[in-house]
Amino acid sequence: MKKKTLFINGVETSFTDERNLLEVIRKAKIEIPTFCYHSELSVYGACRMCVVDIDGRGINTSCTIKPEVGISLRTHTEEVRNIRKIALELLLANHDKQCTSCIRSASCKLQDLSNKLGIDKVRFKMTDEIKPIDDSSDAVVRDPNKCILCGDCVRACYEIQDIGAIDFSFRGSKVSVEPAFGKSLTDVECVDCGQCARVCPTGAITPKYQIKDVWKEIDNPEKTVIAQVAPAIRVAIGELFGMKPGTLLMGQIVAALKMIGFDKVFDTSFAADLTVIEEANEFIARKNKNENLPQFTSCCPGWVKFAEQYYPEYLNNLSTCKSPQQMLGAIAKEILPEQYNIKKENLVVVSIMPCTAKKVEANREEFMVDKIKEVDYVITTQELAAMIKQAGIKFEELTPESLDLPLGFKTGAGVIFGNSGGVAEAVLRYAYEKVNRVKLPSSDFLEIRGDEDVREVEVQLNGSNVKIAIVAGLKNARTLINKIKSGEKYFDLIEVMACPGGCIGGAGQPFIFEEHVKKERTRGLYETDKTLQLHKSQDNPYIQELYKNLLIEPNSHVAHKLLHTSYKNRKRILESELSFMGSMNSQKVEIKVCVGTNCYLKKSQKLMGQLFKHVEKNNLRDVVEVAATFCMEKCGEGPNVMVDDEHISQSTIEKILPSLNKKLMKKNLLTIV
C-alpha cells in the first residue's frame, strides 16, 4: 500500500484514519489550540483557533479539512499566531473577567490559552451589556457573560442527549446561547445531566455548588454530618491534584473527609449492592410473569427525568428501585439516628457524586419523609476537591483511611456501577445464581463490557434467553426506544445512563479534554472490583444483616417503603402559547406548530409561514387559529403539528390541509377549500 504522508512544518508525517488535519497535527506532538473541538461531537469550526497555513490554500481551520497526501502546512507562522491572538482578544473584550472568583479559574481554556498565546492586554472595548445569571436550576448555573459562543453546549445537548434545551438565538452582534424564548433552564426540557457544563470551555455553564451550605452543617455542633461517596469519584478526583486518571484514591478521600470534619464516611457502593438485589428480584418477577418488559434501570436521574418527559408510556417499565444515592440516604435516616442517639433532623447526609442531576434528584418530593430529605446535599467531585483545597489539605500526601461500617462495606458489583454496563453486569451476577441455583464459575460477564455507547448481548438464565441492552447517552436511548415501539427491537433488560461512559463521564467530574481519560477511569473501577474479596452483591455480609434485621426479604413491604419509588408523567403543560392571529376560541380549529429546537431545525418556522398564507388566502381567520407552541416532546418526529387533538408528525403543508379541512367540516365551519 502507498504510504500516506503530508508535511507539517517541513517534516514528513504519516496519517491513517484521522478525521481531520487537527488530529494528525496533534499526533505529531504539536498542540493546536481549540475551544469548539471535541472528539465525541461533530466538527464545527466556530472558534477559529485551530487555523493553520496550508500551501496553496492559505489560512484554514485544521479541524474542518481532511488529511490529504502531499499537503504541506505550517502551524505557527506569524500570521497564524496573530489571527489566534486577535480572536482571543475579541473574546476577552466582552468576557466577564472576574477570573479569581470563577469556579472554572483553574480549568478555564480561555484563561489557559490566553497565557499560552501571550495575551498581555486586550485592545478592544466591551460592547455587550451585562446579562442576568440563570441560577434557576438545582443542577447547573448559566452565566451568559462568560459565554464565548463556541457552541459546544448546544451540540452536546443535541448530539449526545437529543434534547436541545439550549441553542443559538438572534443574529449578528446580538447572537447568544440560551433556552428558547429567553426562558430559564427550569422552564424548558433540560434533564439536568450537565453535559453542557462538561464541554463548556469557560465558566459559562457550571455545576451549581453547595459547598457553603455543607460547611455550615459541618460547623454546626448540633449536627452529625455523614458523607457517602459514589463509585466513580475514587478513580477521578486524583486528576484535580495532578495524578493519573484511574488512580484509586478511596482511602485518601476518606482521610480528607474526616479532616474536613465529616463524622462518618460511607460508600454509595453499599447501596449499589442493595440496589442489585432489589432490582434483580424485581426483574426476575417481571420475567416470570412476562409483565412490564423490558425493565429499564432507574439509577440515573437524568435518564429518569428524560423518560418522565418524553416517554411516560414506559414509566411502568422503569425499575421502581430508588437510585443507590437515595437508598443509602433512606437507610441512613432510618437506622443511624437510633444508633447515634440523635434526632433524625440532626443527621445530615451529604452525597459526593459525579453527576449534576443527582442534585435535582435529592430535592424531589418523593424522597422526603415528614419534610425531611433522605439526602440533604449533593456535591460533585469538583466541589469535593475545592473543599479539600479550602481546608489546606495536601491530598496527594495523605495516608489512606478506612470507610466506616456498616454502610461503608461493599462488593465489586457495587463499585462497577460507576461505568456504563456495570449495573447490568452486577444484576447478572446476582440473577444468574438466583435463577440457575448454581455458583458462578467467574463473576465477570465480559460480553457486557465495551466502549460502544450502545451494546446488545444475550445471556442464558435457566435455559431462557435474556436479551440485554446497555445504552449511554439519551440520544441513543431515544433511538433504541423508538425501535422498541416500532417492533424492530425487543429486550428484557435495558441499562440506561445519560452520560457517555456512564457516571465516570458525569458533569461533576474533572473536565475531560482527551477521550482516553474515560477509559482509564473505567479500567480503575474494574481493577478495584478485582482487588476486593467479594464480587457479588448477595455475598455482602452487611447487606445480609440489613435484610435480617430490617428489610426482611427483597421487595418486601418494608423494602418497598424505604427503597422503592414511583414516577410521574412530566410532559410539560404549556402555560401559554404564542398566538399570532388573535385569542384562542374553542369554536375555531386550532393549529399548534412546535417551534422547539428540534422542530425549528426541521423548518417548522417555514411551515408556520405556509399556514399563515393559506389562512389569509382562503379567508379563514375567523375559523382557524395558528399558534406557536414550545414543545410536544416528540423531537425525533418533527416538525410536529397539532390540529385540534390530532398530532401530525413529520408535518408538511400537504399533510396538514386534509386534516384541517376535515376538522372544519366536522365543526360545520366551512366546506372544503
What cell was used for 520? 482509564
Looking at 3.30.420.270, 3.40.462.20, 3.40.50.1370, 3.40.30.10, the CATH number of the domain 578-666 comes to 3.40.30.10
- Which residue spans of the chain are classified as CATH 3.30.70.20? 88-207
Nearest residue to 122 (alpha-carbon basis) of 149, 96, 143, 147: 96
Pairing between strand 624-629 and 578-579? Answer: antiparallel
Q: Which of 471, 460, 409, 405 is nearest to 432 (CA)?
A: 460
Averaged pLDDT for residues 443-459 = 91
Q: Which residue has cell 398566538?
A: 579
The CATH number of 88-207, from 3.30.70.20, 3.90.650.10, 3.10.180.10, 3.30.70.360, is 3.30.70.20
Is a pLDDT exceeding 80 seen at residue 98?
no
Instruction: Give Cα separations from 334 to 96, 366, 451 (angstroms).
Output: 46, 16, 39
Give the pLDDT confidence score for residue 69 in this predicted structure.
92
DSSP-assigned letter for residue 33: P
Question: How would you classify the pairing of strands 589-594 and 624-629?
Answer: parallel
**Encoded amino acid at 163, one letter:** I
**Cα separation, 61 vs 44, whole angstroms:** 10
- Within the chain, which residue ranges are assigned CATH 3.10.20.740? 5-76
Q: For 211-563, CATH number?
A: 3.40.50.1780
Q: Is CATH 3.30.70.260 what the domain over 5-76 is classified as, yes or no?
A: no
* Alpha-carbon distance values, 621 to 332, 374, 593, 604, 667 (Å): 62, 55, 16, 20, 15
The H or E element spanning position 206 is strand 205-207
pTM of the complete model: 0.81
- DSSP annotation of 507: T
DSSP secondary structure string, 549-590?
A: III-STT-HHHHHHHB------PPPPS--EESSSS--TTSEE
Q: Give the tens place of pLDDT for each residue, 180-218.
A: 888 899 988 899 999 999 999 888 999 999 999 999 999
Q: What's the mean pLDDT in 364-385?
A: 95
Q: Where in the chain is the domain with CATH 3.40.50.1780?
A: 211-563
Q: For residue range 568-601, what is the model confidence (pLDDT) as tens digits?
A: 888 764 444 455 544 445 578 888 888 877 788 7
E strand intervals along 322-362: 347-353
Answer yes or no: is pLDDT of 148 > 90: no
What would the grid cell of residue 584 be?
A: 384562542
Q: Give me the active site residues, please.
A: 279, 282, 299, 319, 358, 361, 366, 503
Handedness of CA 246, 249, 253, 256 (dihedral sign): negative
